[in-house]
Amino acid sequence: MADVEFTDDQVWAAIDAQRLRTADLLSELKRSDWDCPSLCFGWTVRDVAAHLTLQQLTIGDVLRLALRHPGVLGGVNRVIRESARRRAGMPTDEMIAAIRAMVGSRRHNIGVTPAETLVDILVHGQDIAIPLGRDLEMPTEASAFAATRVWSTVSGRWRVPYRGDGKSRVFRRVPSEEFRFRATDIDWAVGSGPEVTGPIDAILLLLTGRRAALPRLGGPGIDELRRRAAVA
């Protein structure tokens, strides 16, 4: 695997840049766009945007949410989901301002690292953009770094909350472990088995469960991957 190495400074710079791109996209949306379904099953664009305002939860924040709303007990991931749905009622301009206000801060949610924070802002931005037919840049090197991090969870070396489990899951798992993925726009490849190729941003989306990326992928293994994804 050709790893893309990022320093902490580079990870946070990529997070800040993607937050600004996402906030700019949100500022262009029509009122009706906010209530459109996102790629996340059961989540609207508004819900996902609200979720992106909650990337800096401390242990104190989580405990206060759990005490105020006992129904959200069941892990940080579920707390984030339920709190995002409650926060979705705030005015959209306040959501956009909240995302912009995080730029320059290095706080992140308890239980994750900056790498997961980068994955979160990259893929959730696409959860908003793709259903609306909007373009939202995903820088190649940042996407490769994020895809490497996600692949490490697929291969069992890490377990991180953004993949979702139990009642917090919003994507069905894509059976990716038995395939080789090779990016066509950067020197990056992982896995073994029938090869699936495509741009690294589409690979990242597929590895995080977004089946909407399948039309952008090809290679000798794509038909088998589509078949397995359809029944998973």
Please give the Cα distance from 82 to 182 (Å, whole number): 36
pLDDT at residue 165 in the model: 36
Please give the Cα distance from 198 to 99 (Å, whole number): 30
5-19, 55-69, 76-90, 194-208: range with lowest mean pLDDT? 55-69
Give the model confidence (pLDDT) of 200-229 as tens digits: 999 999 999 999 999 999 999 999 999 999
Beta-sheet strands, E only, within the chain: 180-183, 189-191, 195-198
In 3D space, the residue among 25, 26, 31, 49 whose CA is nearest the CA of residue 135 turns out to be 25
* Predicted model pTM: 0.85
35 or 168: which carries more pLDDT confidence? 35
pLDDT at residue 164 in the model: 37
pLDDT at residue 108 in the model: 80
- Residues 185-218 as b or e (16 or more Cβ within 10 Å = b): ebebebbeeebbbbbbbbbbbbbbbbbebbeebe
Residue 122 backbone phi and psi in degrees, to 5: -65, -50
54 or 139: which carries more pLDDT confidence? 139
- Give the residue-averaged pLDDT of 111-129: 93
pLDDT at residue 180 in the model: 96
Structural domain boundaries in the chain: 8-231
- Give the torsion through C-alpha atoms of 199, 123, 213, 139, to 10 deg: -20
Encoding tokens for residue 219?
């290679």
Whether pLDDT at 191 is above 90: yes
Query: Strand, helix or coil at 93?
Result: helix
Give the model confidence (pLDDT) of 81-114 as tens digits: 777 777 888 999 999 999 999 999 988 876 788 9
Q: Residue 218 gets which letter from DSSP?
A: B
Q: Residue 17 gets which letter from DSSP?
A: H
pLDDT at residue 86 in the model: 78
Alpha-carbon distances of 130 from 4, 59, 60, rounded to whole Å: 26, 33, 34
- Could you give the percent of the chain with pLDDT greater than 90? 63
Please give the Cα distance from 168 to 187 (Å, whole number): 34
